[in-house]
Structure 1
């Protein structure tokens, strides 16, 4: 599912929930035509029909609840996964001779993180690769110490990315580096 489709789905779900809540609120205050604010939520006729359909009505409600729970779990699982388009599994390059070179993307990102944290001014680093293997997008976040020399860290990051590109034979199509400087502690 694309990001746009995912946003559209969550927007539709949100609008439906707001509409149902607004209708229930309006009915509770008697603002809807034909709705009495003092009326019970479930009429006697509806309760009688529910009891007449037992045990099938209870089974239908249970099955509906399970299906809604599974749909919600699936939506939440998609929401918390890695960013869309993140390289997973292996990075594969055709060789000059018959065969392919395969590298696990987690190994590549971990190696770049270790390279980035080799500078004393970099406290932590996080790397995400997205896009296609020959020209992936590289997203880097570095947390710097308060006394880090930004010019030195900038050159260190450039050198690490150059080493990454030379090692993997992947020139980044897009490089996004975010630096967060930790505040000075008294």
Structure 2
């Protein structure tokens, strides 16, 4: 899933939770049309069914809550892990019947880091490849010397990325470049 997809997913989840909370608050404050602020939120039919289902209703609610919590925990774990986990796979480029070329993803990342750091204005470069090798996500962070002129630096980074694309034979599915000013202090 792309970053845009992740943002849409979490935005929808947040909007649903806010809407549910707002609806309960509106009923409690008597602002919901036809709702009694002193009355019960659930109707008498639902309360009667809940009492008839005792003790199984409580057990079913607890199991449902536990399953939802587990699903949320797994989703959150996968979201956080996906952003940090570098691609450890091998990029394979098939050249038809002439064979194939295999390059480890960490070697490609180190090569791009060296290419980016070739400019004396860049103190450090960090590259992380994530996702599937045919269309990896490319995360780049460059630390720029404080007080240096940045004119032409964007062209240097763009040229290095073009060389990476030409060398690796694949276009990144997602490209994120972050530039930070490095003043030399830890």
Return the TM-score normalized by structure 2.
0.64
In structure 2, distance between residues paired with 1:47 and 1:144:
64
- Structure 2 distance, partners of 1:172, 1:107, is 17
- In structure 1, the residue matched to 2:180 is 180
In 1, are the aligned partners of 2:93 and 2:169 still within 8 Å (CA)? Answer: no
RMSD over aligned Cα atoms: 4.5
Q: 1:106 to 1:68 in 2, by over 3 A?
A: same
Matches within 5 A, 1:78-157: 78-80=78-80, 81-82=82-83, 89-94=89-94, 99-117=99-117, 121-129=121-129, 140-148=140-148, 150=150
SS in 1 for 2:106: helix
- Bigger shift: residues 74-83 or 25-34: 74-83
Distance 1:38 1:143, change over 3 A: same
- Counterpart of 2:68 in structure 1 is 68
TM-score, reference length from structure 1: 0.64
Aligned length: 182
Structure with greater Cα Rg? 1
Gaps of 5+ in 1: none
Indicate the residue corresponding to 2:17 in structure 1: 17
CA deviation vs aligned residue, 1:39-85 (integer Å, no higher than 9, x gap): 355688866654542332222112211221233124323433139xx
Structure 1 CA distance, aligned partners of 2:135 and 2:23?
Answer: 51
Identify unmatched segments of 5+ residues in structure 2: none
Deviation of the 1:102 alpha carbon: 1.6
Tell me: CA distance 1:134–1:51, structure 2 relative to 1, closer, same or farther (3 Å): closer
Question: Is the deviation greater in 88-97 or in 170-179?
Answer: 170-179
Does structure 1 retain, via aligned residues, the 8 Å contact 2:124–2:144? yes
Cα drift, residue 25 of structure 1? 1.1
The alpha carbon displacement at 1:94 in A equals: 3.0
- Tell me the CA shift for residue 143 of structure 1: 1.0
Matched-pair contact (CA < 8 Å) for 1:117–1:125: yes
Residues 59 and 107 (structure 1), Cα distance of their counterparts in 2 relative to 1, 3 Å cut: farther
Alpha carbons of 1:31 and 1:92: their partners in 2 closer, same or farther (altered >3 Å)? same
